[in-house]
């Protein structure tokens, strides 16, 4: 069976693509078949076949709704009928070729009927409150749960539990969506209606406004309470069905139960959201009534305010402006900014390690050693240093040596004679005794 169904579906899809069948209708076309459907349903029309003359009468109503005159009405009707014929919503019922358009007859197809019926259903307030819809859903689910307890095989489960669950979910969603749309539309009308009442500012108008708002809020609050109560029961039934399926190892039940939970949650969420929205609207309108409508019925204050905004204000309001508390936390220090530069490619960087000059240190060490022995002679320091670093490097540092010796001892002026060192260099001797 399933294979046949799938095959038919594939063939139908192929035919649709091959014949390039599409569905283009304008609002006026749908309005026409809705009027036609309503005529047939109410028994106004004779039978199921409609003459061109009847359609013309209905078309006048469509033109009236659109606010169009009679100019080009015939052309618009012909175009509309052609679109409906192409969309398979309407068929010719005269069977034989007619000589005059006046003699044409038309009939709604099942597609056209369904389309019109759906639109009629959207505006029909059928009195199904959301709580009743959910309660009916719970009855269905409880029956399914009873059957689930007796199912022993997976095929039976599919037939007795899964399929009815899918059907119940689809029906629930359709009913709830219709109800929500109706409720939203009704509330939007109230939102539009309330300002007109408020503008009247009369005591009667204010009372009517309060009544309307109280009714809406009562409905929303009742709805929220019922929705939460009933959905809690539904969640419990779904949980029990899922437990049975898991005990028996039926894998298909889990995603189905999850899907149903999601749908129920979205319904509860919608109701909660509406409760919040309408609560906010209720507060706003009551605030308006309290601060404006009831204290300024003649709108004197409003008019005075309107006049005052045209001029530069010549008065002001005094407000407290205490200094803010000191902020004692440490100011965060931003990390240092590093400039990123690309390495130069036009030369290679070579590093040479140069040892620091050791000679000054060595000169001080020689001086210290000689001073420790009691006295240090300038020539002796030069002689010892020359052996390490060479005379050429020592001679430029002679003043430095003299300064060091004098800062660490006292000069002996009795022994200032010229001495010759290293076979050629003659220098005046300087002997320094340790202090």
Partner 1 sequence: MMLYSHQFAEIDVALRRGRHLSRHDYLTYEFIAQNFDDLERFYAGYACRLVQHPDGFFFLLGQGLLPSRKLSRGVMHLGKFIALKARDPELTKANGRISVQELLHDVETSTPPETLTKVYAPKRKEVLTGAAVYEEVLKCLQMLDELGFVSRAGDYVVPREAIHRFAELARHDNSPSDLSKIALEAQRGVVFDEVDDDSTGEADEGQDK
In terms of C-beta distances under 8 Å and separation of at least 24 residues, what long-range contacts does 106-110 make, across chains too? Answer: 106/49, 106/50, 106/51, 106/52, 106/55, 106/81, 107/48, 107/49, 107/50, 108/33, 108/36, 108/37, 108/40, 108/48, 108/50
Q: Which helix (H) or strand (E) holds 322?
A: none
Output 310 or 340, the one with its CB closest to partner 1.
Answer: 310
Calculate the dihedral angle through the C-alpha atoms of 80, 81, 83, 87, rounding to the nearest 10 degrees. Answer: 140
Output 313 or 424, the one with its CB closest to partner 1.
Answer: 313
Contacting range for partner 1; rule: CB under 8 A; set: 90-98, 253-261, 276-284, 337-345: 276-284
Would you say 36 and 108 are in contact if contact means Cβ atoms under 8 Å apart? yes
Rg of the chain's alpha carbons, rounded to an integer?
Answer: 52
Contacts of 262 (CB under 8 A, 6+ apart): none
At its nearest, how many Å lie between partner 1 and the CB of residue 198? Answer: 4
Give, rounded to a whole angstrom, the gap between the first and last alpha carbons of the chain: 125
Single residue of 19, 95, 251, 317 touching partner 1 by CB under 8 A: 317
Output 265 or 283, the one with its CB closest to partner 1.
Answer: 283
- 210 is a contact residue toward partner 1 (CB under 8 A): no
- 285 is a contact residue toward partner 1 (CB under 8 A): yes
Single residue of 68, 189, 195, 393 touching partner 1 by CB under 8 A: 195
Q: Is 394 exposed, middle or buried (0-12, 13-18, 19+ CB in 10 A)?
A: buried
Output 48 or 291, the one with its CB closest to partner 1.
Answer: 291
Single residue of 145, 210, 248, 281 touching partner 1 by CB under 8 A: 281
Single residue of 43, 127, 249, 313 touching partner 1 by CB under 8 A: 313
Phi, psi torsion values for 419, nearest 5 degrees: -125, 150
- 320 is a contact residue toward partner 1 (CB under 8 A): yes
Residue with tokens 């399914």: 144
Report how many residues bind partner 1 under the rule CB under 8 A: 43
Contacting range for partner 1; rule: CB under 8 A; set: 117-125, 175-183, 323-331, 389-397: 323-331
- 395 is a contact residue toward partner 1 (CB under 8 A): no
CA distance 435 to 423: 32
Which tokens belong to 422? 């290293």
Question: Could you tell me the strand order of the sheet in which 375-377 lies?
Answer: 375-377, 431-434, 409-412
At its nearest, how many Å lie between partner 1 and the CB of residue 269? Answer: 19
Output 38 or 198, the one with its CB closest to partner 1.
Answer: 198
Single residue of 76, 145, 191, 248 touching partner 1 by CB under 8 A: 191
CA distance 318 to 170: 62
| Ranges within 324-353 binding partner 1 (CB under 8 A) | 324-325
Contacting range for partner 1; rule: CB under 8 A; set: 73-81, 286-294, 392-400, 415-423: 286-294
Output 92 or 191, the one with its CB closest to partner 1.
Answer: 191
At its nearest, how many Å lie between partner 1 and the CB of residue 210? Answer: 13
- 318 is a contact residue toward partner 1 (CB under 8 A): yes
Inter-CA distances, 373 with 264, 376, 402, Å = 107, 8, 18
The 3-state DSSP class for residue 428 equals: strand
Contacting range for partner 1; rule: CB under 8 A; set: 100-108, 130-138, 256-264, 320-328: 320-328
What binding mask, one character per residue, do residues 291-310 give for partner 1 by CB under 8 A, x or -? Answer: xxx--x---xxx-xxxxxxx
Binding site for partner 1 (CB under 8 A): 191-192, 194-196, 198-199, 277, 280-281, 284-285, 287-288, 291-293, 296, 300-302, 304-325
């Amino acid at each position: 069976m399933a294979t046949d169904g799938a095959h038919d579906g594939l063939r139908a899809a192929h035919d649709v693509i091959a014949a390039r069948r599409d569905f283009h209708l304008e609002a006026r076309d749908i309005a026409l078949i809705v009027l036609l459907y309503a005529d047939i349903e109410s028994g106004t029309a004779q039978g199921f076949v409609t003459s061109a003359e009847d359609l013309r009468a209905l078309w006048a109503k469509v033109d009236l709704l659109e606010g169009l005159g009679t100019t080009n009405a015939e052309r618009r009707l012909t175009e509309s009928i052609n679109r409906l014929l192409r969309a398979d919503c309407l068929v010719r019922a005269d069977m034989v070729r007619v000589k005059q358009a006046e003699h044409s007859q038309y009939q709604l197809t099942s597609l056209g009927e369904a389309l019109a019926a759906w639109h009629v259903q959207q505006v029909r307030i059928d009195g199904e409150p959301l709580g009743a819809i959910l309660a009916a859903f719970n009855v269905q689910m409880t029956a399914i749960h009873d059957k689930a307890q007796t199912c022993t095989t997976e095929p039976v489960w599919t037939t007795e539990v899964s399929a009815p669950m899918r059907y119940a979910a689809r029906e629930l969603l359709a009913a709830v969506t219709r109800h929500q749309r109706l409720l939203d539309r009704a509330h939007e009308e109230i939102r539009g209606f309330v300002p007109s009442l408020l503008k009247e500012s009369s005591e009667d108008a204010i009372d009517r406004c309060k009544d309307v708002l109280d009714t809406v809020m009562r409905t929303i609050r009742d709805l929220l309470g019922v929705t939460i109560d009933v959905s809690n029961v539904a969640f419990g039934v779904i949980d029990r069905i899922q437990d049975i399926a898991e005990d028996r190892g039926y894998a298909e039940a889990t995603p189905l139960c999850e899907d149903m939970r999601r749908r129920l949650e979205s319904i509860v969420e919608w109701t909660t959201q509406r409760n919040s929205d309408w609560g906010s609207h209720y507060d706003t309108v009551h605030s308006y009534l309290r601060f404006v409508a009831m204290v300024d019925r003649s709108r004197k204050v409003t008019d005075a305010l309107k006049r005052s905004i045209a001029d530069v204000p010549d008065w002001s309001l005094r407000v407290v402006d205490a200094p803010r508390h000191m902020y004692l936390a440490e100011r965060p220090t931003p990390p240092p900014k590093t400039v990123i530069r690309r390495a130069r490619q036009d030369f290679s960087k070579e590093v040479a390690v140069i040892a620091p000059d050791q000679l000054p240190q060595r000169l001080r060490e020689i001086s210290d050693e000689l001073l420790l022995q009691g006295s240090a002679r300038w020539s002796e320091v030069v002689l010892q240093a020359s052996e390490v670093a060479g005379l050429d490097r020592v001679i430029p540092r002679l003043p430095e040596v003299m300064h060091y010796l004098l800062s660490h001892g006292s000069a002996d002026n009795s022994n200032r004679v010229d001495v010759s060192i290293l076979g050629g260099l003659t220098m005046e001797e300087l002997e320094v005794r340790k202090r």
